[in-house]
Amino acid sequence: MKQNKPTVLTIAGLDPSGGAGVIADIRTFIEFDCFPTAALTSLTFQNTQAVSGAVNQSAATVRAQVEAIIKDTHVVAVKTGMLPTREIVAEVARLVHETKLTPPVVDPVMSSTSGFELMSDDAFLALKNELLPVALVVTPNIPEAERLTGFRIDNTADMHRAAQAIRELGINAVLIKGGHLKDRKGSGESIDILDNHGVVTVFRDEWINVAGVRGTGCTLSAAIAACLAKGMSLEDSVREAKRYVTEIIRHAKEIV
């Protein structure tokens, strides 16, 4: 199947309420004028308030979905979201090794906004040891970066140190999302730090205080993948993705 638009693939869970997961990813791909494809890793039971459970796919069914897509169309960029089990994480890593699947933008989804665990402990270890080394970039928020590094992050100096520590695990590029620092430091800025092969870029934006916004991490990583699919550099992709998410949050504030 030939597409006039660049094809982007999300490998992630389904949020039936549409706020996060593959629905948010597909919506983002379309906004960036890309052709969306998706492989489901899990069917979650959630709404705008909380996650109550999930039924996970097998590694074999995830592989079958991805193989069907890449046999039919050229996937230019990939992002991953919820990868709940060790088997699924390892299968995605194998797909990158064994097929023409491009190194993914990895959003290391570990728990929902409401606190529901979305990744098992052994899946986390597989993510750290098997998937992240073949990723194009990983995009942890502060709690995710703390789990990856093993130390607390309270300020931008800690963010710089965490980005370097994560990259030293064998990862090409790390984007530390600093939104959670607001709760700890009360800063009026939203600060994200990209460490791309040792070249550090700091992104500073207005902090927009609005409650109830979900799926911003999914949307950001999907937007980065879409921009990469359109030929942008990683730095420019992050910059454009942040602009897009900021406008979503700003609009959410206007309609709350």
DSSP per residue over 146-188, as a string?
HHHHSS---SHHHHHHHHHHHHTTT-SEEEEE-TTHHHHH--S
Whole-angstrom distance, CA of residue 149 vs CA of residue 254: 37
pLDDT tens figures, 80-139: 999 999 999 999 999 999 998 999 999 999 877 666 688 889 999 999 999 999 999 999
Inside any domain, residue 100? yes
Inside any domain, residue 182? no
pLDDT tens figures, 146-199: 999 999 999 899 999 999 999 999 999 999 998 767 554 555 678 899 999 999
- Across the strands, what pairs with 205? 190
> Residue 82 belongs to what domain range?
7-135+208-255
Whole-angstrom distance, CA of residue 42 vs CA of residue 15: 9
Whole-angstrom distance, CA of residue 82 vs CA of residue 60: 16
Cβ neighbours of 6 (radius 10 Å): 20
Whole-angstrom distance, CA of residue 71 vs CA of residue 181: 43
Q: How many residues does the chain have?
A: 256
Name residue, tokens 């609005």: 210
Angle (nearest 5°) at CA 243 between 118 and 247: 80
Inside any domain, residue 198? no
With 0.85 as the threshold, say if the pTM is over it. Answer: yes
Inside any domain, residue 188? no
Domain count, the chain: 1
Inside any domain, residue 48? yes
Inside any domain, residue 236? yes
CATH number of the domain within which 117 lies = 3.40.1190.20
Inside any domain, residue 179? no
Helix locations, 82-155, DSSP H = 86-98, 121-126, 142-149
Inside any domain, residue 191? no
